[in-house]
Amino acid sequence: MGEQQHVKFPQEVIEEYAALGVDLPALFSAGHLGNRMGVQILEASAERVVGTMPVEGNTQPYGLLHGGASAVLAETLGSIGSMLHGGVSKIAVGVDLNCTHHRGVRSGLVTGVATPVHRGRSTATYEIVITDEQDKRVCSARLTCMLREVTAKDAGNLPEAGRA
């Protein structure tokens, strides 16, 4: 799934996945797109997901952070929270993403923090706040994910790194 990162997971989540033969820290990454964009996940739990992304390399023609890049960061963080809320028996699939862009950023890192708005049995909704290095809000986003049961086909798609 991409290069391995050191992500802070709650120990009980690591143990839950390990019981099913999945090495969550070895498996985990921001995904291929997130890796290409330089997304780094710093902390991940169902209650809070934190990640960063560089502005450089993720700009539009005017030199500002691309709104689509903010959307990628937001969907990545909200999806991780939804996945961890759903647990090992569910897969989180994004069904609605809304982003409001408040200000432009030309350099540095942006930081996103995802917190739950709703965590149910079949859906999870997260608010994601993206700020610049001066802690000014750049983007407010909301992601809703459908939580569906894992199938044998899904389990077969795990990369070798995640198999214990």
Selection from 147, 145, 109 nearest residue 127 by Cα: 145
138 within 8 A of 110, measured Cβ to Cβ: yes
In this structure, what token pair is assigned to residue 50? 């934190």
Alpha helices (runs of H) in the chain, residue ranges in sequence order: 11-18, 24-27, 31-36, 67-86, 152-155
Q: Which residues contact 20 (CB under 8 A, 6 or more apart)?
A: 88
Q: Tell me the catalytic residues.
A: 75
For the chain, where are the E strands, in sequence order?
40-44, 49-54, 90-101, 109-119, 123-131, 137-149
Selection from 30, 44, 16, 10 nearest residue 113 by Cα: 44
